[in-house]
């Protein structure tokens, strides 16, 4: 190898060594003064911000934990509270009631609200720091279950607010039915965090005419006004059920009222009748209104409540409708398609077969009988109608009633597949004498008035037949009556009879007494 190449190789090694020494010297030089100044200025700002954030988080930890706990309290409490209020048939904020007794001693505690259904009483008590729920079954005052549903209450925890005000007043002095209660509210404030929430629930048994508006006077939707003058000898039962009949009140959560102080006011002699209700509200101080039959035991609410100030008849003050005034005698015009103007009709009126008759509306008085039969179609315009003779709607007749008042002096019969339907304006059928009979598969659907003197509570049938009339209201042999907009049926002087598979679905029934047999059924509320 030549000397020149050996010299070139030596120069390459020296070059590499010089590059390495230059890099090492540069690394040993460190940061410049400007770089150090920047770091010294910015670093405290960053570290200070982090420190403040950590201090704030640690300082708020207790508050956050309290709010999380309080939020959990509200969820736990509402889960129990809503269910209890929805189930309740009666409510009170009075801590001195004895029948049925309150659940838990509540010694030194404040009664927030007490709720009752079937044979169950649930109470909510507040002490200085806790909201306590006590649950009692079968009339005991010792809780079957007691639990703390909220912690850290404010010292001034208030009692439940019940609406409307009339029910709040009643609940403050004893048990009151939830039929008229539109809401039960408890406002809760947690002491430590100041966390606030409202517990609000509506009883399922709340009865509202027309599906809205202010609730009517508090009364059981199935109310029997027997009110005998003496219990010796034993009077006839206020309610008799046999032969597989069914009564359902408020979907099973409503109350039955029996205005009789006599034992045996409810009688179930045979078959397998079902009385589906949450409560019996009775004027019998012995709480023994039932005389069960020997053949079978019906389904029956296990809890009875004695009501010393029994709910008054909600329709007692209603004014009897006035008879319409007319001038001149009139007749219908036409042959098969007929038009009938308002006025007085002296002769009997009969429409059958292909007849299609229209009463144009206004004031009408029929002195004789009115018969619509064999598929005839009749339309009544809005107005007031008085029928002095018997009205017989039969044989697949189709009748439409306009808004107004229909007065029957000698009774009305809907029979043999006839159909009666009222318009949305609402009607009142007032039976001044005779009997109202819905039988033979006849179907009647009535709308309650939403305004006027018969709208609160809404009334669709008022059977005022004099005392002694045999079954002034009868549903028999598959006949049916349905009332919408919460319409009620009122039979103050006699017995309502449901027989032979008859069905009635209405907002309320207030009658002197009722007899269900042969598979009849009644759904109210």
Q: 232-245: per-residue pLDDT in tens?
A: 888 888 999 988 89
Give the pLDDT score at 387.
98
pLDDT at 390 over 80: yes
Give the pLDDT score at 492.
92
pLDDT band, very low/low/confident/very high, at 60 (cuts 50, 70, 90): low
Mean pLDDT of all residues in 150-168: 86
Q: 300-343: per-residue pLDDT in tens?
A: 665 666 665 566 788 988 999 999 999 889 999 999 999 999 99
Q: Which residues pair with 340 in a beta bridge?
A: 359
Give the pLDDT score at 16.
43
Supply the mean pLDDT for the chain: 82
pLDDT at 74 over 80: no
User: Using an 8 Å Cβ cutoff, are 338 and 377 in contact?
Assistant: no
pLDDT band, very low/low/confident/very high, at 202 (cuts 50, 70, 90): confident
Q: 25-51: per-residue pLDDT in tens?
A: 555 566 787 877 777 778 788 887 787
Q: Which residue has the higher pLDDT, 444 or 43?
A: 444
Q: What are phi and psi of 177, to 5 degrees?
A: -65, 145
User: Using an 8 Å Cβ cutoff, are 174 and 94 in contact?
Assistant: yes
Mean pLDDT of all residues in 289-302: 56
pLDDT band, very low/low/confident/very high, at 212 (cuts 50, 70, 90): very low
Question: Any long-range contacts for 268-271 (C-beta under 8 Å, 24+ apart)?
Answer: 268/240, 268/241, 268/242, 268/292, 268/293, 268/296, 268/297, 268/298, 268/300, 269/240, 269/242, 269/293, 269/295, 270/242, 270/243, 270/295, 270/296, 271/242, 271/243, 271/244, 271/245, 271/295, 271/296
pLDDT band, very low/low/confident/very high, at 2 (cuts 50, 70, 90): very low
Q: 246-282: per-residue pLDDT in tens?
A: 998 887 777 888 888 888 888 888 777 888 887 787 8
What does the buried/exposed string (b/e) look like for 341-353 if buried means 16 or more CB atoms within 10 Å of the residue's CB?
Answer: ebebbeeebebee
């Amino acid at each position: 190898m030549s000397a020149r190449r050996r010299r070139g190789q030596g120069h390459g090694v020296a070059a590499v060594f010089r590059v390495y020494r230059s890099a090492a010297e540069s690394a040993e030089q460190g940061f410049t003064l400007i770089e150090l100044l920047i770091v010294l200025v910015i670093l405290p700002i960053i570290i200070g911000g982090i420190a403040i954030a950590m201090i704030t988080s640690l300082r708020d930890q207790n508050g956050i934990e309290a709010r999380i706990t309080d939020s959990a309290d509200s969820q736990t409490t509402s889960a129990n509270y809503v269910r209890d209020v929805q189930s309740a048939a009666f409510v009170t904020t009075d801590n001195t009631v004895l029948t049925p007794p309150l659940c838990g001693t509540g010694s030194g505690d404040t009664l927030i609200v007490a709720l009752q259904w079937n044979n169950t009483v649930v109470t909510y008590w507040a002490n200085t720091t806790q909201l306590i729920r006590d649950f009692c079954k079968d009339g005991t005052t010792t809780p079957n279950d007691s639990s703390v549903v909220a912690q850290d209450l404010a010292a001034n925890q208030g009692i439940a607010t019940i609406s409307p005000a009339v029910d709040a007043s009643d609940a403050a002095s004893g048990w009151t039915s939830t039929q008229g209660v539109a809401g039960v509210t408890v406002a809760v404030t947690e002491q430590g965090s100041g966390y606030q929430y409202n517990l609000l629930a509506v009883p399922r048994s709340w009865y509202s005419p027309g599906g809205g508006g202010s609730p009517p006077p508090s009364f059981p939707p199935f109310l029997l006004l027997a009110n005998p003058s003496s219990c010796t000898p034993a009077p006839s039962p206020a309610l008799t059920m046999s032969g597989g009949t069914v009564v359902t009140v408020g979907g099973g959560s409503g109350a039955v009222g029996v205005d009789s102080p006599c034992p045996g006011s409810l009688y179930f002699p045979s078959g397998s009748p079902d009385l589906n209700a949450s409560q019996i509200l009775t004027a019998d101080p012995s709480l023994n209104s039932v005389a069960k039959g020997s053949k079978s035991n019906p389904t029956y609410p296990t809890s009875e409540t004695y009501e010393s100030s029994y709910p008054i008849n909600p329709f007692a003050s209603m004014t009897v409708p006035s008879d319409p005034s007319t001038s001149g005698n009139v007749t219908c015009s036409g042959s098969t398609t007929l038009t009938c103007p308002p006025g007085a009709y002296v002769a009997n009126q009969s429409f059958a077969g292909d007849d299609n008759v229209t009463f144009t509306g206004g004031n009408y008085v029929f002195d004789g009988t009115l018969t619509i039969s064999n598929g005839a179609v009749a339309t009544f315009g809005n107005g007031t109608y008085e029928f002095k003779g018997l009205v017989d709607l039969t044989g697949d007749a189709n009748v439409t009633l306009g808004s107004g008042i229909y007065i029957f002096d000698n009774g009305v019969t809907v029979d043999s597949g006839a159909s009666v339907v009222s318009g949305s304006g609402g009607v009142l059928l007032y039976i001044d004498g005779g009997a109202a009979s819905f039988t033979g598969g006849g179907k009647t659907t009535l709308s309650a008035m939403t305004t006027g003197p018969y709208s609160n509570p809404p009334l669709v049938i008022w059977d005022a037949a004099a005392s002694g009339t045999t079954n002034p209201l009868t549903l028999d042999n598959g006949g049916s009556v349905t009332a919408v907009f919460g319409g009620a049926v009122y039979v103050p002087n006699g017995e309502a009879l449901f027989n032979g598979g008859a069905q009635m679905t209405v907002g309320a029934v207030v009658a002197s007494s009722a007899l269900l047999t042969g598979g009849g059924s009644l759904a109210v509320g």
